Amino acid sequence: MVLKLIDATQVRPGTVIMIEGEAYTAKSNDKSKTGKHGAAKCRIEAVGIFSAKKKIVAVPGGERFEVPLIDKRKAQVLSVGDETASIMDLETYETIDVPYQEGLKDQLAPEKQVEYWDVEGKKSIMRIL
């Protein structure tokens, strides 16, 4: 679910925006005016929340970006696999298999509590509590 739409000129560092269907965190936004009759241009550098890929987009200032609703939830780890972990949500007691960030593999263990994010239906374990 999209929370709101913002113009490219309103994107600030730290803002989460959707680019090509993926959630990205903006790292910088360089705005420039072109000329007497030109429109503002924005060069946005962003890093993917789940993929950690860097993306640079150059768009007109009036371009609209979707700001996704990020649902941050707490869960308990039940088991850890190669790429996913089986977790139980601490509010709904629902059991789900969720991928985790690469740096967390050594720290994940059964019965530990974690925070996972649900962004537009895509889930990932982001940190250990």
Instruction: Please state the CATH superfamily assignment of the domain spanning residues 70-128 in this structure.
Output: Nucleic acid-binding proteins (2.40.50.140)
Render pLDDT for 77-120 as a digit per residue (tens, 0 to 9): 999 988 889 999 999 999 999 988 878 888 888 889 999 999 98
Helix (H, G, I), strand (E, B) or coil at 35: coil
Q: Residue 107 contacts by C-beta under 8 Å, 6 or more apart in sequence? A: 128
Where do the domains of the chain lie?
2-68, 70-128
- Tell me how far apart the alpha carbons of residues 33 and 29 are, in angstroms, rounded to a whole number: 13
Phi, psi (rounded to 5 degrees) for 32:
-145, 145
28 forms beta bridges with 45
- Name which CATH class applies to 2-68: mainly beta
Q: What confidence score (pLDDT) does residue 1 get?
A: 63
Q: Which residues pair with 115 in a beta bridge?
A: 74, 127
